[in-house]
Chains A and B, each alone.
Chain A
C-alpha cells in the first residue's frame, strides 16, 4: 500500500494534476474570501467554503478521472494484478494519495481564518469545524469519483460521468421539491430502482436468474408495503433525496452545527464507494 501511495504521489507532483487542483481551489477560496470576508466584512469564513463547494462539481472529476481509468488504458493494471499486493491495498494507496493532494491546499486555506482573526473577531470554532467538514465531504466525493473512474478505461468518459453525478447530488435538494411526494409516485420510483438494481446485478455477475430474482422480490416487497401501509411511502422520495445530498449536509456545518450524523454519513459513503471500487477491480479478474 505504501508503495502505491508513494508512486501515486510522485505521479501527481510530477505531472500538473496536483498543482492545477491546488491552484484552482486556492484561487476560488481566495475570491470567496475577498467577496465575503473583505468586501462585505463578514466574520464567518465558513460562508466562503459553502460558496466554493459548487466548484467540486468540476474539480473532483478532474482530480479523480485518471486514477484507475488511465491504468486500464495503458494496461498497467495488469502489473498491479501480477504484483503481490491486493486490490484493497491498491485502492487504499490510490485513495490516500488523492486525499493528500486534496489536503495540502486545505492546509494553506486553514491559515486564512487565523489571518482574519488578527483584524477582528472571527468565529474560529465554526470556521475550523466547517473546514474539517469540507475536507470530509470532499473525501466522500473523491471516493465517488474514484469508483466512476474504475468503471471505464476512457479518462474523458470517467470525468463525463462524474460531473453529472456530482451535479445531480448538488441539486438533489432543489429537485426534491419537484418530485412526487404521494405514496403512489414513491412506489413507482422504487419499482424502477429495483429494476435498475437488477440490471446492475446482471451486468456485474452475468447471472440472469439472480438479477430477475432480486428485482422481482424487491418489487413484490414494495407492492406489499404499498397495499398494506401506503402511508409509509408518503413524502418518502423527497425526504430520501434530501438525505442523500452530501452538499446539503455540509450547510449544516456552515450554519454552525457540528453534526455527527453527517460525519457518519460521509464516512459511510467513503467506505461504500471504496468497497465498490475494490469490487470493480476484482471483477476485472473474473471477466
Chain B
C-alpha cells in the first residue's frame, strides 16, 4: 500500500528523519509512536506530499509521491496536526471546496459530503461558522475533509491532541470505525491510545525506526526481563527453601510485612510465566502456607516504548563508548526516563 524506502529529511544541519524504511499493508490501523520531535509529523508530511524528502522515496499503491503526486494524493486523506480549516466558512462550504479540489462533481460531490457529515457526526453544525465550533467539532471537520473522495488510506496526525476525554473517546471510536474500510495511520505520543486502537505499531525515535510490530508482540519481546511477585504467610527461610527448588527462578528479594507475611519479588528466566505462577502456588499450598497475592508483572507497551526510545539516545550521545545493553538497562529507572523525556521536549521547543 505505502512503501517508504530510505527516507531522510535534513533541515540544514538537523536531521529530522534518518534513513527510515517501512511498508504499510492494506486494511489495518497503524500507530506511529514516538516522543515529541521524533520526526512523526515530518514523516507524515512527506508521505502525503506536503514536504519534499532529502533522500529516499515514498510510493503509494505503486505511485511515487514525488513523481506522480496527482495520482498518489488521490489515494490519501490527510489530517495535519493543526486541522487546516478556513475559519470564516461553514463546514459545508469548506467540504465543498475540498471535494471539488479532489475532483468530485455535482451529485457525487453532494452524496459524498452527506456521507462524510454522517460519518464524522457533523450533522446539525454543518451550517455554522467553523470559527464558532468547539475544538472537537473542528477536529471532526478535519477528519471529514480527509474522508472526502473515499481515499484508501487515511493519515491522521495526532488526532486527539487537545480534546477533552469524552471527545477523545468519540474520535477513537470514529477511527476504529474507519479502520474497517480504510487503512488508517495515526500518530500519537500517547501510548494507551495506540494500544487501544492500533493493530500495528511503528515506534520512531530521533528520526529512526526502532520497532515495527503488533503491540502484543512488542510486549512479549520484553517479557524476558519481567518477573513474578507474591505475598506469602511464611517465614523467610521457608520461602528460600521453596524457591531454591525451582529451576526457572533466577533470583529473589524479600521484604517482611507488618502482619507477619512476606512480600517476594522473583526474577524468572524466559519462559511461560503462568507455569511459574502455578508452580509457586502448588509449592506453597503443599506446605499449607497461604498465598495472599500472586501477580505476574506483565510488560506493557509503555516499558517497551521507553526502553526503545531511551536506549537509542545514549548510543547516539556516547558514540563508540563500550556500554553494553545490559548495563544500560540496569542503570535505567523510570524516573530518570521521565526527566530525560522532559529535557528532550524542551530541546525540541527551543529549536
Contacts and interface: CB of A to CB of B under 8 A. Distances in A.
B146 to A, nearest CB: 9
Interface string B86-98: 1111000100011
A6 B97 contact: yes
Contacts of B87: 74
Interface in A75-99: 75-79, 81-86
Interface stretch (A9-17, A143-151, A171-179): A9-17
B334 interface: no
A76 B85 contact: yes
Contact of B84 (A10, A78, A285, A286): A78
Contact of B82 (A75, A85, A86, A285): A75
B109 to A, nearest CB: 10
A81 B50 contact: yes
B50 A4 contact: no
A3 interface: yes
Nearest to B151: A84
Interface residues of B, number: 31
A229 interface: no
B70 A84 contact: yes
Given A3-B97, A3-B101, A10-B93, A82 B50 contact: yes
A194 to B, nearest CB: 26
A82 B49 contact: yes
Q: Tell me which of A78, A83, A86 has the highest count of chain B C-beta atoms within 10 A of its own C-beta.
A: A83
B97 A7 contact: yes
Interface in B33-71: 45, 48-52, 69-71
A14 B88 contact: yes
Contact of A84 (B85, B97, B102): B102
A142 to B, nearest CB: 21
Contacts of A285: 50-52
Interface string A64-79: 0000000000111111
Q: Tell me which of B48, B82, B88, B97 has the highest count of chain A C-beta atoms within 10 A of its own C-beta.
A: B97
Interface string B75-87: 0101010101111
Contacts of B88: 11, 14-15
Contacts of B76: 82
Nearest to A3: B100
A5 to B, nearest CB: 10
B162 interface: no
Interface string A110-142: 000000000000000000000000000000000
Interface in A181-197: none
Q: Tell me which of B71, B76, B82, B100 has the highest count of chain A C-beta atoms within 10 A of its own C-beta.
A: B100
A6 B100 contact: yes
A206 B101 CA distance: 33
B70 A79 contact: no
Chain A's interface: helix, strand, loop or mixed, by majority?
A: helix
A195 B215 CA distance: 57
B67 to A, nearest CB: 13
Nearest to A286: B52
A74 B69 CA distance: 24
Contacts of B82: 75, 78
Contacts of B112: none
Nearest to A5: B100
Contact of A85 (B11, B85, B101): B101
A86 B102 CA distance: 12
Contacts of A100: none
A24 to B, nearest CB: 21
A11 B98 CA distance: 14
Nearest to A84: B73
A2 interface: yes
B270 interface: no
A82 B51 CA distance: 9
Nearest to A4: B101
A82 B70 CA distance: 10
A147 B48 CA distance: 26
A81 B49 contact: yes
Nearest to B146: A82
B176 interface: no
B80 A75 contact: yes
Contacts of A11: 86, 88-89
Contacts of A86: 69-70
A84 B80 contact: no
B289 interface: no
B172 interface: no
A85 B104 CA distance: 13
A76 B102 contact: no
A6 B94 CA distance: 12
* Top-3 shortest CB links A-B: A3-B100, A79-B84, A84-B73
20 contacts: A2-B100, A3-B97, A7-B100, A10-B93, A11-B88, A14-B88, A74-B86, A76-B86, A78-B45, A79-B80, A79-B98, A81-B49, A81-B50, A82-B49, A82-B50, A83-B98, A84-B69, A84-B70, A84-B74, A86-B70
Interface of B: 11-12, 45, 48-52, 69-71, 73-74, 76, 78, 80, 82, 84-89, 93, 97-98, 100-103, 145
Given A7-B100, A84-B70, 9 more contacts: A6-B97, A74-B86, A76-B84, A81-B49, A81-B50, A82-B49, A83-B101, A285-B51, A285-B52
